[in-house]
């Protein structure tokens, strides 16, 4: 897959902080799709939203995955669901990044 990926943080009107991670498959003329025999490029769009809620981090996810080629859509849906649900592992990564930023801010002062 050829993807455009973006992540960041935003604040809502009530001062609640949200983090997001989104990626969207793209087409580029310099990397044409389906130019290798037997390999088809899938199309995907996903978005994760994270919010700190007391001691927990809540996660909302929405995604679409459109398989192409000989793989049935139901089979690819099952495989992708397992990968998307692995987001629970991202919590430790997010907390590590947050602690790293805190350490950097202490070093600056």
Predicted confidence pLDDT, tens digits, the chain (109 residues): 678 899 999 999 999 899 998 989 888 888 777 777 777 777 888 898 888 888 888 888 888 888 776 667 777 777 777 777 776 666 677 777 777 888 888 766 5
The rounded distance, in Å, linking the Cα atoms of 7 and 1 is: 18
13 backbone dihedrals φ, ψ, rounded to 5°: -65, -15
Total Cβ atoms within 10 A of residue 73: 11
What are the structure tokens assigned to 41, written together? 């490029």
Contact, 63 vs 49, CB < 8 A? no
Domain assignment of residue 34, given as a range:
3-108
Overall size of the chain counted in residues: 109
In 3D space, the residue among 22, 64, 71 whose CA is nearest the CA of residue 44 turns out to be 64
Number of independent structural domains in the chain: 1
């Amino acid at each position: 897959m050829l993807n455009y990926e973006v992540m960041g943080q935003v604040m809502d009107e009530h001062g609640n902080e949200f983090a997001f991670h989104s990626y969207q498959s793209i087409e580029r003329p310099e990397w044409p799709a389906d130019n290798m025999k037997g390999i088809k490029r899938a199309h995907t769009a996903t978005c994760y939203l994270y919010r700190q809620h007391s001691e927990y981090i809540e996660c909302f996810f929405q995604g679409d995955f459109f398989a192409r080629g000989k793989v049935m859509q139901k089979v690819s849906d099952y495989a992708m669901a397992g990968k998307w649900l692995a987001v629970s592992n991202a919590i430790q990564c997010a907390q590590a990044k947050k602690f790293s930023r805190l350490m950097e801010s202490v070093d600056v002062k």
